[in-house]
Structures are given as C-alpha cells and as structure tokens.
Structure 1
Amino acid sequence: MTDQKSTEQVLEDTTSRLDEIDAIIESSPVTVLIWSDEPGWPVRFISKNISRFGYTQDDLVSGRLKYSDIIHPDDVDRLNAEIRALTGKKIREWHHEYRLVTRTGEIRWVDERTIATRDSQGKVVRLHGVIFDITDRKAAEVQLSQSEEKYRMLFDSANDGIFILGLDGRFIDLNMAAVASTGYSRYDLMAKTLKDIERADITGRFEELRDTLEAIGEVSFESVLIRNDGTELPIEINARLIEYSGEPAVLAIARDMTERKMAEDALRTVMMSLEELESIVNASPAVVFRWTFDGERRVQFVTNNVQQFGYSPSDLISSSPSYSSIIMPEDRERILGELTEHHENSAKEFTLEYRILTKDGRVCWLDDRTTARRGDKGGSDHHQGIVVDITARKQAEEALRLANEKLSLMGSITRHDVMNQIGVIMCALTLMEDDKSDSDRANHLRLARAASSTVIHQLEFAGTYQKAGTKAPEWVHLRLDLAGALNSIDLGDVIVEHDLGNIEIWADPMFEKVMFNLIDNSLRHGENLKRIGIRTLIKGKRLLILYEDDGMGVLPESKELIFDKGYGRNTGLGMFLCREVLSMTGITIREVGEYGKGARFEIVVPLGKFRDLGGAR
C-alpha cells in the first residue's frame, strides 16, 4: 500500500510539473509540434497555442487536417522539395520560413525550426519543430523595400545591423548598429569585405549564395562574425538585391542571434527532460513567474534568472520584498486596476507593461505575459507567465520620438534665421550697387560679411544639434567625458578642480559637448576667472552635478534666458544646446548662483538614470 501511495504521489508530482511546462509553452511565443515525414505531413502532437492561428489541437492530431492543409498553397511544393533535399543529405536540423493560412483566412509568416529523428537505418521517423510567428518582421522587410525615405530612417535608427554590400562582398555602407555590434571602427569596416570578418570555418557563405541571390533577389542565411576583440557574434542575415547609386548591390539586415540561440537550445531540450528544460529557462532572458492573485502578487515560483534584476528567487518568494512593492509607484495603481479588470472579465491571457525598481536602483521596463489559472468556482487561483526586460526598446522609442521633435523644431528655426540673414546680405549687396562712394561700399561689405558669419555659425550649430538624440542614449562616465572636454579646450591659467567619483549617467552620447559648453561659457564670460569646480552629490533619490566658477556669475533676470536660443553676446547657442542634450533622457539644468560670486549650474539626474560604481559622495 505504501509503495502504491508513493507511486501515486510521484505520478501526481510529475503530472503537476508537466502541467507547468505546458503552461509555460502556452504563454511563450512559440508553437511546438511533432509530425511524420509522410504525404501531407500528418501531425502527431501540437501544442494548444496553435489556437493563435485559429485551430485546435484536435483539428490536426485527429487527422481532420494535415499540416500541409494550413500551409499557404504557394509554399507547399517549395517546402516539400526543401525537406526532401535536407532529409536526403542526412541533415539533422534546419529551418524554413513560409506562410500559414489561419482559420479566418489571414496569412501569417512563420519561422520553423526542425529536428529530424531517424531510425537505425537512417530513415526519418518523425520531425520535431517549433514555430515562431514572424509576420511583423516580414511586414517590416516589405515596408523597407517600398520607400527609400523610410529605408533611410530605419537604416539610421535601426537596432539591427544593416550593411550595404557590393556583389563582391565589399562594404559600401553600414549603419551605427553594425559598427557597434562588431567593435570595429567605421573606417576599418569600409576597408573590409564580409568574408574578412566571418569565422574561419564558415567563411564564404555570402559567395556561396550569391548566384541564388542574383537569381531570385533575396536569400537568408546564418553566419558568425568575429568582433574586433576576438569574440563571436552569431547573426542571421536577410539579404535582398537592390540598386544602390545606379549599381547592383545587396541590402543585408544582420540580426544578433545570441539570445535567440539560447532560446532555441532551450526549446530543443524541452522535449528531452524536465531537468534540462529548467536549466535552459534559467539561461534565457525570459523570467518565469507564478503569482497569487491579490494586491501584492505574492510570488510562489520564479526562475533563477530573476537575478538579472538583482533579486534572488528566495527574496521574492519570501516577500522580502513583495513583487508589488518593486513596481514603480507611478505604475502600481494602474497595474492593480488592469489586473482587477482582467479578473472581472474572466480573461485567460493578458499582457501588461510596467516599470520595476531593481535592487541596485535601476528602473527597468518589463513586458509581462500572464495566464490566469482558475479554480473550481471560476475565480483566479493564481497567475503564471513570463516577464522580459524591454528597457532598451522603450529607451530607443523615446529617443527616436524626441529626436524627431527636436530635428523638426531645429529645421524650422534654422530656416527662419538663415532666411533673415540672407535678406540682410541681399539688402547690403543692393545698396552696394547703388552707392558710389568707397566708404559706403566698405560698410555694406562689412554688414554682408557679418551676416554671412552668422549664417555659418547657425548652420554649424544645426549640424551639431542634429546629432543630439540621433544615437541611442548610453551610460556615460562623468570623469571620462570631462577629460574629453578638457582636451578640446585651451584653459589658459584657469584651474579646473573636480570630484566626480566613479559615476555613470544615462545620457545622450553628446554629453561631453555639455561639459565643453559649460567650461567654454565660463572662459568667455567669467571676468577675472581663476577657478572652475565640478562635483557630484547624491541627494535623496537624485544625483546632483554641481558646476561652479569664480567669475561674476549670471544676472538674476538672465538665469532662464541664457538657455533660450540666440540669447547672449555671441552665437547664443551653447547653453541652449546643453539643455536640449540633457532633456533627451529627462535630465534638467538650471543656474542657481549669486551674481557677483560666480556662476553655479545645478544638473539634476533622476532616479534610474545614474549608477554609482564606487567612490561617489
């Protein structure tokens, strides 16, 4: 009897854990299936989330529908030919991209990753696969090819690396993401070919596929690049034949597959053993949770990779802190309201986006995909799902929005100012034609020259301003950026004292220009200037960067005006640029000094936008 109970308990535990695995798969972005290598590809197993395409498990497992029945008719013959070729070559793993037709008739693109299982004679007995819905990616690629203007915007701001290659593999152009991901300088890359930076054992994939590319216009393949520091960068390249400057060329979008490779490894092993599945989940960026349904969302289970936010599983399971308490106060009430609404509407699945405060003080955006598990009476028993850090995406979206607003404003302002100065020049030239005396003509020439100089300064500033916000914000080291600014300016006899500790702030890459303009402003306007001091102070949840000099300072009525474009005795652009660059990431600046005792600028960095690496006070 004891053995029987023990067996029943093991069976119950195993069933429970398998239910958890099933739930995790259901809330993940992939569909898992097993099918036979027979005509029509009859399905032996498919996960319940095939419902996202409008079908049920029973539709396919029962045989009412074969897998080929839901594939777009134009893709079936191609897939069949490819599978025949791959199985004939004894290849174990491969992937395809093709279209599925949903029950409602909608066309969805999918990326299928397949593993073939063979018997002792090498015959394929079944195929295991996972399907990713890549419809959005395909739509983006089509949109990219439709408009050169849209292509240019995406080219300059895309997170993926984008290369334009000659048919010989030589780099013609590349975006900043491509430069950053490889670690080479743009100059170095422009002197290389794709083959030069591929891993030695797979080099030449582009050359191998060039004939196919020229025949059908597009091709996809995987490669591994060697970064400048010697590390590997696995990528998936989607290449399309284009015309560039009147010559045939290749537009190649290179997507970093590092995280996806990790996820694929996890999915391949999910069917092998529960222990291996748990190990792979913990190595992925997606954190798996199970919460109680209440205001605190008490954590019942969480995978070890929650440590990416600084918390251990035991911290959250013991409610020290509770999950609700790490949600930013500004989002907490909204999230509780959304949870209550989903509960009242008996929603089975829902998505939330909110911010949390990590253990080290960073603010992270999360994408929370939750499934409600209900009890016998229909009420929510608990919630389970995955959360993914989407901070980088949110920051990039905000930076792009701000950049577009700033560039639009700058374009209108610059056009207005330049047209005014050109009007002055034209007027002066007209007067020169009418005036006969040399002295009057000389005065008009000086006027035209001064207006021309103003136009040059305005256009130079517009070029500098255009750079603000066009690159994604990054962690900027205060001491290093100050050193860069000091190397670009002649201080004369002025002494610069600084105590910046070891602090980084989340700012536009042009932050060094802010430091330069503050120092330049002191040198230009600080009468009898001898000393400049720069230091940091952590006050409450904010970081203060205090900039002071011992010049005359700023008149009370000018404290806000100095940040207006055009104010001042020179170009009136430097302090305007400082405020604009800082505002890209929510940082503020104001002048708080006492006139006669020197200028004092206070830069305020909000919570989550700075980190102390040790040594700051």
Structure 2
Amino acid sequence: MKERWNTWRKEPVSGAFLISILFALILFPYWWLLDQWSRTFFIDHVTQFTFTSTTFIVVLAIIDSTFLIRYYQILQKNKLAHAMNEICENAENCRAMVENAPFPIIVTKYLDNSILVMNKEAKILFLENPEDNVEKKISEEFLSIIKTEHFSDTLPGKKQVFGYEISFDTKTRGTIYTSLSANVIDFLGERAIFTAFVDITDRIALEREILRREEKFSTFFHEVPNPLLILSDTGHILEVNSGCEQYFGLKKEDIITKKLDELIIFSEFNQDSITQLKETKLSSIETLIELPDGQKRYVILHIRLISIRNITHTLLLIQDIDEIKRVQNAISQANNQLSILNSITRHDILNRIMIITSFGQLLEKKISDEPEKRWISIILQSAEDIHTLIDFTRQYQDLGLHEPKWQDVSEIMQKSGIRSLLSDISLHLPDESIEIYADPMLEKVLYNLVDNSVRHGERVTDITLSYKKNGDNLVLRYEDNGIGIDEKDKKNIFTKGFGKNTGLGLFLIREILSLTNITITEHGEKDTGVRFDMKIPSGTFRTVTKEAKTES
C-alpha cells in the first residue's frame, strides 16, 4: 500500500491532483466563513452572489494554478531523477569498462597529474603492489619520461595523441615498451587526461629479432665465398655478394637490376628455368656456364625461396664443381677404357679356354691310361673353373662405379630376371612402399639370394620379403622355407671362396651392400629355411606414397 501511495504521489497528474484536493479542503472552511461574513456585510442578494461567485472563481483559479505548478514541478523532478539514473548507469558502465579493460588506463588531473582513475592493468604496470593506495602522484619515473618526450607540450595543442611510443622501467617487468594514446576530457566537471597504454614489448622484441636476423643474413650473404644472387619474382637481379663479383670478374653495378638471361653467363639458364625447377620441386641443377673471359666451367646452381620483408625472392647459389667434374669425367673415361680392355681380355681368355677345353676333350677320348686320364680331367675342370670366374668378373665389373640411387625392392623383385627363377615358388612382398638408397647392383643382390634359394634350398616353395624397424634403422628380411644352413657353416658363408660353385655369391652380396653401409647377417635355422637380415642405416631409406610414384 505504501509503495502504491508513493508511486501515485510521484506521478505528475496524480500528485498534482492530490495537492489540489488538499489545498481545496484547506480553503473550503475559509470560503464558507467568507460567505457567512458577506451575508452580514451585503444586504443585497445580487451583490452577495456576485461577491461569493467572484471569490469562488478566484479560489478555483488559485487551486488550478497550484495544480499546474505542482504538475510541472513533479514532471521536471521525475525527468531529472531519470537523467541522473542514466548518468549513474552510464558512469558505472564506463567504470566497469575501464576497470576490466585488457590494457592499462589512467585518468589524471590536467593541472597536477594526480590520479583520478587507475584500472587493474595500470596498477599491475606501475605499482609494485597492485593493492597499494593510488591517492598519490603517478610514478615519478613515468612523469620524467613524459616530460623528456615533450608529451605534455604536445597534448594541449592537439587535445589528443595516438600511437606515442615510449619505453620505461617497471619494478615488476623491467623495461617495457608501450604505445600511448591520450585525450583531454571533461571528468566530473574538471579537465583531465585520459591515457591508455598498449604493451608493444613483444612487437619491439620481434622487430629487433627480425632486424638481427636480417643483419646476420646480410653478413653471411656477403661473407660466403660462393657466388650468391638474390632475384625478384620477375628474374631481375636485386643483390649479389662479393664472391659473385670475384668469380665473374664483374662489378656489382654491372649486374644489379639486370635480368638473369641478360647476362651471357646464364644465357641458357633464365627465369623460365627457375620456374621449371620450382614446378618440378627440384632445388639444384648441374650445368655448364661460360665466364666473361670465355672460360667454361661446370657448376651446380642451388635454388632457394627466401622471404625478405614479407616478399618472396629467389636465392641463387653457384657451386663450382669444375675440377671435381673434370676429374670424374677423366675417371669415367679411364673406367670405360678399362671396361673395354677387360672385355677384350676376357674375350681372349675365353677363346684360349675354349681351345684348352676342346683339345683336352680330344685327348680325354684318346687316352685311357691312368694317371694321364686323371690329369686331363683335372685340366678340364680347371678350365671350367676359369671360365666361371671370368664370367663372374663380367657380371661384377661395374661394382661401385656408379652413384647409389633410390630403389624399391618390390619393383626389383617383379623384374623378369628374378621372376624367371620363381616358376614354382610363391613370392610374398612387403606391404610398405619403401625405397632404399643403394648401389645399382642391388638387383644382383636380390637375384643371387633367390638363385641360392633355388639352387641350395632343395624344397623351397615360399620366399618372403618384409621390413622391420630397429631403432632408427630399418631391417629388410629375406626368408625361404628350404633346408636352411648348417650352424657350423654360418660364420663362413660370407667368406670369399666358401661354398659351392665359385664361393663368390654371398661374398659379393656383402660387398655390394657395404658400399652404402648396409650390413647382412643370417639367422635362420637348419631344416626351416634361411633368414637374411639386411640392416639399412637411418637416412638411407624412405617411405614413398603411390601419388609420389605416379608423379615420378
């Protein structure tokens, strides 16, 4: 009831009407007394009616005036109260926004810099203990920086300042860098400075790190003895190092701003060549260049994409391999000549062996007495052994002469030479698609393993190849289900001359694998089959996807 009365009393019309009723009730007795008094004073009824009526109208006008006056008083009071409530709510919202802002905010008096408002982040930034009372001047340290930077002189003229970068020491975080923005505002009726800080310490540190790395890159770039060029995406030369000037015998100003293919040196290697290298995902290419003095040299051009100030450029490094290349060419030529000589010599030896074998067989038919017959048999067997050894040298004459390459064991096992040995044998290959970095004669290794299984396994019907991780290394396992190897023979099977036939098969398998540091051991059991483990070092095997194989 009380709340309804208060609401009714504060409502402009109801409140004013209430005052008018009360005022009328107070004035009614006086009006009645005036009417009685008028009856004794005025005898004439017309005059009496006129007097009382006039008095009633005056009283009514007074009551109406009172009603209107009170009505507008209450109306204005309510408007003022509503405006004050909005101001208080807005002030509270602003206070909450300032207090919970993720960056430091300080409001200070314009004249003496005393603190009016300081949010949590500002307390953390400027005060050693954020719970301290802030009814004091801002840190003298901060004020000295403001004065040193002439900030106080700049603000009155501009009224606002944005992105004003300053640094200062704090007790909690050491030296920090901030971007300061300030406005002159009216705060509760007096001039004040609203100051907001954005911590840019991390950005400054990052910029300095970028600058340090650029300086480091610049130092490396100019100190590297190999020729280095930086190219734009259009192929223009933007920068060269001193090694480039010395190597080509040209001055920097004669090279800068020119396109790569404008230099006679790179007449056959231009921006299109670089683009092609990027598209094929190659990072280097071997080529022959011609120096300004007419000298031709073998080089490897290494291509790298680098970012300078967020712009992609091409770094071209030239590695001179002329001497190495010419030595390799000379060795290759010598090997070719030796190969030809070996072929001719081998052919001549085989011809002589054929003569020995033919005449030996004729003598064997003519002679039937011992020990001559036995001697001729020994001669024929020796001739056969020589023939086998000579044939073996033909197969392995290229051992170690060629660069190792990436090879897939599963693909090698599908080749016709090995497949021809497996007519009655089931072959099980690894599920993983892995390439091994080995001598090109890896095919011969696998061929000989299969050949040994066929020749000596006696009852082999299954051959299985599989991979197994061994720490950082990879083990390629070869197994069959033949008769296996006697335990007493295992330590000698890789020894030169041990075994049937020539005794060179497993020995040469070990030698071929050792060219790329691959080791081979045997762990099978007698009557269950052989198990050869080839341990491939880390870095010399890789998993290849089907997509990558399709692209290659």
Instruction: Report if TM-score (shorter chain) is over 0.5.
Output: no
Give the greater-gyration-radius structure (CA).
Answer: 2
Q: More strand by proportion, 1 or 2? A: 1
Q: TM-score, normalised by structure 1?
A: 0.39
Q: More helix by proportion, 1 or 2? A: 2
Q: TM-score, normalised by structure 2?
A: 0.43
